[in-house]
Structure 1
Amino acid sequence: MTEAMYYVLLALMRPNHGYQLMHAITEVSNGRLKMGPGTLYGVLSRMQKDGLISLAENDGRRKTYLLTPEGKHALHTEYGRLKALIKDSSILEEGDEDE
């Protein structure tokens, strides 16, 4: 899963439309990731095709997206993988023996 996909899933813990999503992604990433509309809509399209998100509402002006059960599962799986990466990297905190 790409970083962009992960943050879209995080931002969709509550249903959102595109403009809200761009701001929610910036917020949940603590400002580290700013996603433009081209990237966002590309990711949304791919995730919708993969069954990770679905269209909750389309009023003609805005499309509101929400997580599917598969999307929630993928988010939790990726979260577990990222936590394992951090745990495995604890060797870095022990310092380099050559120093």
Structure 2
Amino acid sequence: MARRKFQTLTEPMFYILMSLQSDDRCGIDISAYIAQKSAGRVAIGPGTLYALLGDFEQESVIHCIGVEGKRKIYRISELGRSLYAEELNRLKRCISDAEGGDDNE
């Protein structure tokens, strides 16, 4: 189900999974990573962030590996890594198509 549900990731979804590629993070750290990585271009509000984290957790895209105070710490699953890699490849193909020009010109 998760592969179909997340066949094409939205920009916030993509950046959330990007943030978990190298480190386990809580929601606040995910938000800070995204703001830093995108130089503030991508901003995900708390409602959207925690709704997406809940959806990802429900579909086993990420797992909660612990709680520190009120903060849940998330780790990306193999499914999550696969979804991220597929989306990254899709985006690279889009860029390649755009940079390749129009064959009909």
TM-score, normalisation: structure 2: 0.82
Q: After the TM superposition, which segments of 4 or more aligned residues of structure 1 sit over 4 Å from their partners? A: none
Match 1:58 to one of 58, 63, 67: 67
* Contact kept? 1:51, 1:68, Cα under 8 Å: yes
Any gaps of 5 or more consecutive residues in structure 2?
1-8
| Alpha-carbon distance in 2 for matches of 1:60, 1:23 | 19
Q: Give the CA deviation at 1:60.
A: 4.1
How far apart, in 1, do the equivalents of 2:83 and 2:37 lie?
18
Q: Deviations over 1:41-63 (max 9, x none)?
A: 01101111121100011134110
Q: Alignment length, in residue pairs?
A: 94
Q: Secondary structure of the equivalent of 1:16? A: coil
Residues 33-83 of structure 1: CA deviation (Å, up to 9, x unaligned): 111211100110111112110001113411000100000011111000000
Which stretch shifts more, 79-88 or 12-21? 12-21
Counterparts of 1:5-20 in structure 2 under 5 Å?
Answer: 5-13=13-21, 14-20=23-29
Identity %: 33
TM-score (norm 1): 0.87
Task: Give the secondary-structure state (helix, strand or coil) at the position aligned to 1:15.
Answer: coil
Greater Cα offset, 22-31 or 61-70: 22-31
Match of 1:80 in 2: 89
Greater Rg over alpha carbons, structure: 1
Gapped runs of 5+ residues in structure 1? none
